[in-house]
Amino acid sequence: MAKNLMIQGTMSGAGKSILTAGLLRLLRQDGFKVSPFKSQNMALNSYVTPDGREVGRAQALQAIAAGRTVSADMNPILLKPTGENASQVIVNGLPVGDMDAREYFSNKRKYVPDILNAYERLSKDSDIIVIEGAGSPVEINLRSEDIVNMGLAELVDANVLLVGNIDPGGVFAQLLGTVNLMPQKERDRVKGLIINKFRGDVSLLTPGLSMFKEYCDIPFAGVIPYMELGLDEEDSLSDILRERDGFAYPDKVKLAVIRLPYISNYTDFSIFENVEDVELIYTQEAKAVVDADLVIIPGTKNTLSDLKWMREKGLDVAVKAAAEKNTPVIGICGGFQILGRSIDDEKGLSLLPVDTRFADEKDLKQVEGVLPEIEGFYAPLGGKSFTGYEIHMGRTDAEEGASFVITKGSVLGTYIHGFFDSAEIAGTIVRMLFERCGIKREVPRIESRFTLQDKELDRLAVCLRENLDMDLVYRAIGI
């Protein structure tokens, strides 16, 4: 059986997902066969495994960090919000239905066998499993039914490192309050404390670390500096998703992603975030859409609700106005459906000659191939290779038959998540935009998202090795 270590946080946004990924990369570099595990995740940013199962995107990143093929065993329960108080429940990578919060809370203990069976399968093929918790481990009103924090730690007998985020302030109160709300048997599992996202001179923090010993006898495992990383975070907490009213750099190519209420897989566009002379924003403002050089409607977990919301905000009119002046408009997955003529009995934006009907079964598959010849505006994309995955309930019929992409004038739709991850496709899009905007500067070289991700994981591992007490970490693992 594999040894293990659990990363818990004082709150959502403590940085558990990224720290887990970094530790997995570090331990892999040290020669161990490692795997990630998160028993229950709530996220709209998801990924499809090679065998057609759905997991949280953060666990896919962690699998990449570990050098492992992504498996549904790494995230046996995924909750995808469909409304204010409801989620689609996905178990072992497949949907089992929609539940409101109370219904799921009363039923979730029945999924413990699924969690333990998944963990056992990973354990047979790993030296170390690094487990990520969720939210806070001391939501005392929820503790009796916990299957993701200390409840899971007890089930798999895991020691814990507790992480606090210093960036918003109050980190000592976060850590002490969390520990003091734990019963002694849970507190005994916490072998080290981590302060994450520290900015500035760490020597100024050192007296506080010493003074903290008066209140808590759990040692500090390290202080991790704030890092700008091009890695996937949990969708609800990413700084990237903070919507903007408009563009800050008028001389750059302007990309506007509509920040839908139920936006999913926003990482589809992250390859553009650090491209020189390109500004990408997430926005809910019609003016920003009209001002953009490229408009993107992303995926959504609730297509009809988000289409209604777009109409209420006047964004449907803004998107049509952009298309009428030949501004490129691209829809991914749910965004593709919105661009069509109809979705069930609801009228779409009618910018693409397609009609969508929802089905009972979800399409889950990885895809790869070469784009066919494309006439007109998007002709430069013809013949370009792509890889990606599809996650959708709708079945879309096109006038010209099924294809990887459907185009009409300056409008393009596709079901492929990860469509832009290819440096070839992303670079072609940027080149087209430079030409359209009359920018004479050389088009910057773009690396594939996979290459960038690997470099960032190595950089994160170096940072953790330099700033964590690795002897303490290995003792917590039991090595």
Check pLDDT > 60 for residue 349.
Answer: yes
pLDDT digits (tens, 9 = 90+) for 382-425: 999 999 999 988 888 876 555 689 999 999 999 999 999 999 99
Active site residues: 333, 417
- Higher local confidence (pLDDT), 244 or 431: 431
Rounded-to-integer distance, Cα 136 and Cα 134, Å: 6
Cα distances (angstroms) measured from residue 9 to each of 138, 149, 196, 327: 10, 9, 10, 44
Total-model pTM: 0.90
Task: Name the CA radius of gyration of the chain, rounded.
Answer: 23
Rounded-to-integer distance, Cα 83 and Cα 80, Å: 9
Please report the pLDDT score of residue 44 as a whole number.
86
Mean pLDDT of the region 247-257: 92
Check pLDDT > 50 for residue 237.
Answer: no
Decide if 435 contacts 208 (C-beta within 8 A). no
The β-bridge relationship of strands 294-297 and 253-258 is parallel
Ordered by start, the domain boundaries in the chain are: 3-231+454-477, 239-446
Helix axes 16-29, 57-66, angle to 10 degrees: 20
pLDDT digits (tens, 9 = 90+) for 413-465: 999 999 999 999 999 999 999 999 988 888 888 888 888 899 999 999 999 99
Secondary structure class of 299 (helix, strand, coil): strand
- Higher local confidence (pLDDT), 359 or 163: 163
**Mean pLDDT of the residues in the chain:** 93
Identify residue 279 by its one-letter amino acid code. Answer: E
Task: Name which of 155-169, 238-252, 257-271, 449-463 the model is least confident about.
Answer: 238-252
Q: Evaluate whether 3-231+454-477 and 239-446 have a shared fold.
A: yes
Which CATH number is 3-231+454-477's, of 3.20.20.140, 3.40.640.10, 3.40.50.2000, 3.40.50.300?
3.40.50.300
Mean pLDDT of the region 318-334: 96
Confidence grade of residue 367 (pLDDT, cut at 50, 70, 90): very high
Task: Give me the CATH topology for the region 239-446.
Answer: Rossmann fold (3.40.50)
Residue 349: which residues within 8 A CB-CB, separation 6 or more? 316, 319, 320, 338, 339, 340
Mean pLDDT of the region 173-185: 97
Please report the pLDDT score of residue 143 as a whole number.
87
Please report the pLDDT score of residue 245 as a whole number.
78
Secondary structure class of 367 (helix, strand, coil): strand
Please report the pLDDT score of residue 89 as a whole number.
94
pLDDT digits (tens, 9 = 90+) for 263-280: 998 889 989 988 889 999
